[in-house]
Amino acid sequence: MTSDRKTKANRANARVSTGPNTVHGRARSAQNAFRHGLSLPVHSDQALSKEVQALARLIAGSNASAHVQMLARQVAEAEVDLRRVRLASHQILSQAGSMSVIPGPLLTTSPMPEAAQEEFAPLTPLADKLATILAQQAKAIEAMHRYERRARSRRKFAIRTFDAACRSQ
């Protein structure tokens, strides 16, 4: 049996963790999925849909059954989705690389101990700039990584299903 104290604590925590409370906060969070356009299905874009159809025809072959064609379309959708995510990642890093880099500490505010400094070679200016860019764009890069991981997983399972259907025919 849950005590009254624990029930009150749970309700208080639930009130705090229910997302944004202001109209502006709710409106901003509602647009999160549309920031990159990667949450939209591939078939919602006419050009991507044509690319999916062409790739599906190549995957399935000319005399495939309707079931195999549908599975080939799923493989093609996942592949196009993965290309789309990788292009968005590339664009984020390219834009970040063209921005001016603000010098300053990357991850820590305290200086590195002298013993550790001797172990690491100094960074070249290019490597230092890249490290600063990656540190500044970490949140966007992590979001792209999640999209890419999801797309790779979809593609892997679509390929497995397609291969199993082709073997059974």
Segments making up each domain of the chain, as ranges: 40-102+124-169
Q: Which residues 6+ apart lie within 8 Å of 35 measured at CB?
A: 143
pLDDT tens, per residue, the chain with 169 residues: 788 999 998 888 887 777 777 888 888 777 765 666 677 778 788 888 999 999 999 999 888 899 999 999 999 999 999 998 898 888 887 876 665 544 444 444 445 556 555 565 566 777 777 777 777 778 778 888 888 999 999 999 999 999 999 998 7
In angstroms, the CA 133 to CA 163 distance is: 41
Tokens for 41, please give them.
């299905």
In angstroms, the CA 98 to CA 129 distance is: 11
This prediction has a pTM of 0.62
- Using a 10 angstrom Cβ sphere, with 0-12 exposed, 13-18 middle and 19 or more buried, the burial of residue 150 is middle
